[in-house]
Amino acid sequence: MSDLWWEKTVIYQIYPRSFMDTTGSGTGDIAGIISKLDYLKELGIETIWLSPMYPSPTDKPYHLHDCGYDISNYRDINTEYGDLEQFDQLVAEIHQRGLRIVMDLVLNHTSAEHPWFVESRSSRDNPKRDWYIWKDGRGKNGKKPPNNWTAMITGDAWKYDEHTQQFFYHEFLDFQPDLNYRNPEVQEEMLNTIRFWLNRGVDGFRLDIIHALFEDEQCRDEPFAIPLPFTSKYGLIKKTERQLHLPETIDFCKRIRETVDEFGGKFLVGEVHGPAEDQRKYFGDVANGKSDGLNLVFYFNSLNTLLNVKKVKSLIKTAESSFADPLLPTWVFSNHDFPRRIFRLKNDIKKAKLNAALQLSLRGVPCIYYGEEIGMSNPTLDPKTSKDALSHHLRLLPAVSRNLIRHFGLLLNRDEARTPMQWSSTENAGFSPPEGLPWLPVNDNFKRCNVEQQEKNPGSLLHCYKRFLKLRNNSPVLQSGALKIIEHPNFPSSVLAYERYLVDAPAKCLVLLNLSNRAEHFSVPYQNGEILASTLSQSKVMVANKIALEAWEAVIIEVEGIAS
């Protein structure tokens, strides 16, 4: 059994702008996070991941900045949240409660307002010119992009700069120029930035879109593929041969790992999109039970997975084969870029409870998005008034393109997944003081969906999360055990069953999930069985190893022996 804390942790993502506003500015702040640390401790999570809080041009119109994911200074705190002194206090308060803190680090690109880029675009011979990716255009006047590369969803990946008459590369929005990681100075600067925050006591980093760091050195065209209208004028779905998952990116991830390991007891979790086999590469090479790349990688296959036996079983089997021991999958069902999980579950609280039990009983590291524990949902917000720069690009696309984006499980307006945390039924849902105006509208359902009300209701989703988190935190089997899917004739076809177990330990946990609208009655084929937790009851018992599962109920049972 591992003694590495991050292998047994539970991560909770906070989007700072939307968590807790103590000043009435309408924007969440560091003091607000500190004020809710006891809530998080009682909830049962251990590691807090903070979306970016660095300086960013958030004073500009919303369609010209990315709410912190376009950084203009990597070694400071945006004044809308506080300052470095308050951040240091936050780190101390987190550690005082036995919790951990992970910062969001955007290594791939900066803001166009970053002093490095301001220098870089000032002239072709500026010392910072090679810190970014500049290329001559094509065509007789050089006004055509250097190649056919597309940005993620939003069209061409090149923007022409009139002043220096070259194009710069941006994998994302055109005010987020990509850094040039083929420049050793850039690599050292970013590794030293990691050291800067580790010296301030942070426990690790979530690495934003880490698979996009390097691009083809020769800037060759991507191969053409299936034409779709939301990609670019070249009409192609970008393949990853030239822009994503390059071997040099994997090598640099190993350098990041070496840097983090200088400090001991820290960890890295990467945002890597693509098939599980591509995600697996970012763990690096495995030898003597250890890997030399990223410690963890988000397993995004779960985001769109429907709750039926076939789909969930396939999800688990892929994770178990792709991230076999000593690797671990990181289970994420919602985040700041995707629809909230309960939206996919059609606002069904029973299904949300079952989903929580699934996430907290699988082998690997669970990552919970703020508000998920109370079932916060996506409101419908007008894209014309969106605070999300990406949505302003997407709403100009033709209807067929927008429908395709929805089909792939993406949000046309990410504001809908970022609304203020719903703490109470008071004005502004308790997020801002009554006189404040939250930066995004509070969801209309806040009076019936909030922490205060669910705290009072033992049958709430919040208490279900607490129940399963407490069990997981006190169970070495659930924290570190292996997983085996159980096929047995006693189990109905609508029930998914898997064991969590430690080698050479007699007791194991049997997880049963009834993924259907009907109740199921059957016997559990083990020597002994005691129900440790249920999604729908706090006092469920078994009689002679017989169990009755309600529709969409999940249970964890302590059993002994082998299924007979």
pLDDT at 233: 44
Average pLDDT value for residue range 63-67? 83
pLDDT of residue 76: 98
Give me the pLDDT at residue 154, please: 66
Rounding to the nearest 10 degrees, give the CA dihedral for residues 307, 301, 67, 135: -150
185 has a pLDDT exceeding 60: yes
Which helix (H) or strand (E) is 562 found in, with range?
A: none
Answer yes or no: do 23 and 158 share one domain. no
Question: What local confidence, expressed as pLDDT, does residue 235 receive?
Answer: 42
Residue 393, CA atoms < 13 Å, CB-side half-sphere? 23
- Residues 255-307: pLDDT tens digits? 999 999 999 999 999 999 989 999 999 999 999 889 999 999 999 999 989 99
Q: What DSSP line would sit under 487-527, residue for residue?
A: --TTS-TTEEEEEEE-TT-SEEEEEEEE-SSS-EEEE--SS
Claim to verify: residue 90 and residue 130 sit in the same structural domain: no
pLDDT of residue 58: 84
The pTM of the full predicted model, rounded to 2 decimals, is: 0.95
- Count the Cβ atoms, other than its own, within 10 Å of residue 390: 22
Number of domains in the chain: 3
Q: What are the distances in angstroms from CA 40 to CA 35, 37, 43, 48, 60?
A: 10, 5, 5, 9, 33
CATH label of the domain that carries residue 297: 3.20.20.80
The DSSP-derived string for 363-426 is SSEEEEETTGGGT-------GGG-S-HHHHHHTTS-HHHHHHHHHTT--S-GGGG-PPP---SS
Per DSSP, the chain holds a count of helices (H) and strands (E) of 15, 22
Q: What is the pLDDT of residue 226?
A: 54
Q: Could you tell me if residue 475 is inside a domain?
A: no
501 forms beta bridges with 482, 508
Are 215 and 324 in a shared domain? yes
Q: Has residue 476 been placed in a domain?
A: no
pLDDT score for 65:
84
What percent of the chain has pLDDT above 90? 81
The pLDDT, as a whole number, for residue 117 is: 98
Q: Is residue 129 part of a domain?
A: yes
Q: Do 342 and 428 belong together in one domain?
A: yes
Query: How far is it, in rounded angstroms, from Cα 216 to Cα 182?
Result: 10
| Residue 159 falls inside a structural domain | yes
Instruction: Check pLDDT > 50 for residue 231.
Output: no
- pLDDT band, residue 528 (cuts 50/70/90): confident
Residue 202 confidence (pLDDT) above 50: yes
Q: How far apart are CA 136 and CA 144, in angstroms?
A: 9
Task: Over range 165-183, report the average pLDDT.
Answer: 97
Domain end, chosen from 468, 490, 505, is at 468
**pLDDT of 378 strictly over 90:** yes
Catalytic site residue from 208, 222, 373, 388: 208
Q: Are residues 153 and 234 in the same domain?
A: no
The residue from 419, 434, 468 where one domain ends is: 468
* pLDDT bracket for residue 234 (50, 70, 90): very low
pLDDT of residue 256: 98
Nearest-10 crossing angle of helices 461-473, 349-361: 10
Q: Are 236 and 150 in contact (CB under 8 A)?
A: yes
What would the 3-class secondary structure string for 99-164 be? CEEEEEECCCECCCCCHHHHHHCCCCCCCCHHHECEECCECCCCCECCCCCEECCCEECEEEECCC
Looking at the DSSP bridge assignments, the partners of residue 268 are 205
Contact present, 261 and 205 (Cβ < 8 Å): no
- Kindly state the DSSP code that residue 459 receives in the 8-state scheme: T
Amino acid residing at 307: L
Residues 258 and 359 in one domain: yes
- Residue 523 pLDDT more than 80? yes
Give pLDDT, residue 289: 87
C-beta separation of 176 from 111 below 8 A: yes
How close are the terminal C-alpha atoms of the chain, in Å?
27
Given the residues 80, 113, 215, 271, the one annotated as active site:
271
Decide if pLDDT at 542 tops 80: yes
- Helix or strand run (H / E) with residue 296: strand 296-299
Are 90 and 231 members of one domain? yes
**Residues 464 and 322 both lie in one domain:** yes
The neighbouring-strand residues paired with 331 are 299, 366
* The pLDDT of residue 324: 96
| Residue type present at position 556 | I
Q: List, for residues 19-33, the tens digit of each pLDDT value.
A: 999 999 999 999 999
| Domain end position, chosen among 439, 468, 497 | 468
pLDDT-above-70 percentage for the chain: 93
Cβ-contact 69, 55 below 8 angstroms: no
Give the pLDDT band of residue 69 (cuts 50, 70, 90): very high
Would the CA dihedral through 311, 317, 320, 322 be positive or negative? negative
Q: What is the pLDDT of residue 236?
A: 42
Same domain, 316 and 403: yes
Preceding peptide of 326 cis, ω within 30°: yes
Enclosing domain of residue 521: 481-560
Q: Which residue has the higher pLDDT, 79 or 537?
A: 79
Residue 429 within a domain: yes
Please write the tens of the pLDDT for every residue from 219-230.
998 886 554 444
The answer to whether residue 474 is domain-embedded is: no
Domain CATH number, residue 133: 3.90.400.10
Q: What is the CATH number of the domain that holds 490?
A: 2.60.40.1180
Whether 271 sits among the annotated catalytic residues: the reply is yes
What digits encode the pLDDT tens for the residues 447-486? Answer: 999 999 999 999 999 999 999 999 999 999 999 999 999 9
Domain membership of residue 473 (yes or no) is no
Q: Are 354 and 382 in contact (CB under 8 A)?
A: no
Residue corresponding to tokens 């983090």: 260
Q: Residue 376 is which amino acid?
A: M
Q: Both 120 and 103 in a single domain? A: no
Binned at pLDDT 50, 70 and 90, residue 247 comes out as very high
Q: Are residues 155 and 100 in the same domain?
A: no
Please name every residue paired with 330 in a beta bridge, in sequence order, or none if there are none.
Answer: 298, 365
Domain assignment present for residue 40? The answer is yes
Q: At what angle do helices 184-199 and 247-261 cross, to 10 degrees?
A: 30
pLDDT in tens, 496-512: 999 999 988 888 999 99
Q: In this structure, are 379 and 525 located in the same domain? A: no
* Mean per-residue pLDDT, 125-141: 96
| R_g of the chain computed on alpha carbons | 24
Looking at per-residue pLDDT, the higher value among 540 and 546 belongs to 546
